[in-house]
Chains A and B, each alone.
Chain A
């Protein structure tokens, strides 16, 4: 009985952790697709049954409710110490904090990249692992998917506007961009897929691990951008949003370029692989 209750609580918690909305996952995938080499794009499209990466942008979240992929529900978040050290593997699974036990997105991403690098996957496994990478890379550029052990409570931050209570994590999912721009996928690409080669080199420099640990200081600051319980009027909300949307749009762009770098390395023999560590 205790076990069933524990599973029920865990499921509830997992369903309450979101990342970018469907539109923003599509935006990351579309920016990545815009920056794939021809060879990589062809190989990936073939592996994905002829469909665009954008079509599969949120696939991992969509299948998380099915028994076959139930284990992937823990692949949404990463956990870190106050000093920015990743808590991974068994350390995470055995952690006293339930949300950290489920913060296995890093392990899943590294495993998916390694599995494709091995070249030993069948068609279904290959498609699944590409789709894991597409969704998780986007998630790992959403600030509220980072759990800092000294800031657990910050993840439950909320604010009031127009007499209603709003969760900060859901704000990042739904409104960080939508509250400012009426963009669809093609607009995200037009607006954000325009970095210079030098900027792209800077964004994609390092390893997957260094990208994630490198995101941490900014994402800690983002948690601090809201004093929980703040009540905004229209002017206050607008001025607060003005600080957030440039960060949100930049993170979407960065995620797109890094996703392209991972996939170009895996599916274009002329491009070096992005190191995992």
Chain B
């Protein structure tokens, strides 16, 4: 029975919709990263993705999460937190899903030349996307925040849906991802080095704190507007996207610049 309950809980947790940043957000992360790749890393990794830019695959995981060959990745986009922690059959807490998958893939890629080309290709797509996801505030999914709703005009939005696209669009709706990456990529070399320090677990823990802030600010069941929420939330969104871009570059350089 306990096994069944755990399984049921796992299934229920898995079925919540989760796309994180929209294509604009994920592409901006990837563009920032691309500008900070070393020439050697860029050249090595692009050989595995058909000479494309990594930005082409920024949202690939979102688009293929229900496609049968890749539906195993369906639930890799969100980390649950506190009272929502997943447990195994014995009741032991399971590690955060997107963070643990990202860590596993990065570890496997440390010796990428021993992997098949198709697996390296798939891993690149996952890394490019998951680094963006773990920096998106609503991808630390708190039980308390899930029922929250806000109103924008006549629409009632889930917090997740609002963060997927509306927060970024509230200020940058007319801005293309490439342009936005130029606007956000203004940190000094010292600042970037500081951002890139630490482990993926450290970055996850930092995201938890940012996510708490983003959730606490939400005017529940009230109208959201630029003045009441977006103007504060956008600072967090811009920070998370920029930081994710620099860290994505750090991961890819560490893998492919050798």
Contact = CB atoms under 8 A, between A and B. Distances in A.
B111 to A, nearest CB: 28
Interface residues of B, number: 18
Given A191-B56, A194-B51, A194-B53, A180 B63 contact: yes
A184 B178 contact: yes
B63 A191 contact: no
B64 A187 contact: no
Interface in A148-185: 180-184
A242 B178 contact: no
A5 to B, nearest CB: 44
A238 B178 CA distance: 24
A118 B24 CA distance: 47
Contact of A191 (B22, B24, B55, B179): B55
Interface in B18-67: 22-24, 27, 51-53, 55-56, 59, 63-64, 66-67
Given A182-B27, A187-B177, A242 B51 contact: no
A187 B53 CA distance: 10
Interface string A185-196: 011001100111
A277 interface: no
Contacts, number: 45
A124 interface: no
Interface in A213-253: 235, 238-239, 241-242
Contacts of B53: 190-191, 194
A236 to B, nearest CB: 9
B23 A238 contact: no
Given A187-B178, A191-B53, A194-B52, A182 B23 contact: yes
Interface of A: 180-184, 186-187, 190-191, 194-196, 235, 238-239, 241-242
Given A180-B23, A242-B63, 15 more contacts: A180-B63, A181-B27, A182-B177, A184-B179, A186-B179, A187-B55, A187-B176, A187-B177, A190-B178, A194-B51, A194-B52, A239-B67, A241-B63, A242-B64, A242-B67
23 contacts: A180-B59, A181-B23, A181-B27, A182-B23, A182-B176, A182-B177, A187-B27, A187-B55, A187-B178, A190-B53, A190-B55, A190-B178, A191-B52, A191-B56, A194-B52, A195-B51, A235-B66, A238-B63, A238-B66, A239-B66, A239-B67, A241-B63, A242-B64
Q: Which 6 A-B pairs have the closest CB atoms?
A: A184-B176, A235-B66, A182-B24, A182-B23, A187-B178, A239-B67
Interface of B: 22-24, 27, 51-53, 55-56, 59, 63-64, 66-67, 176-179
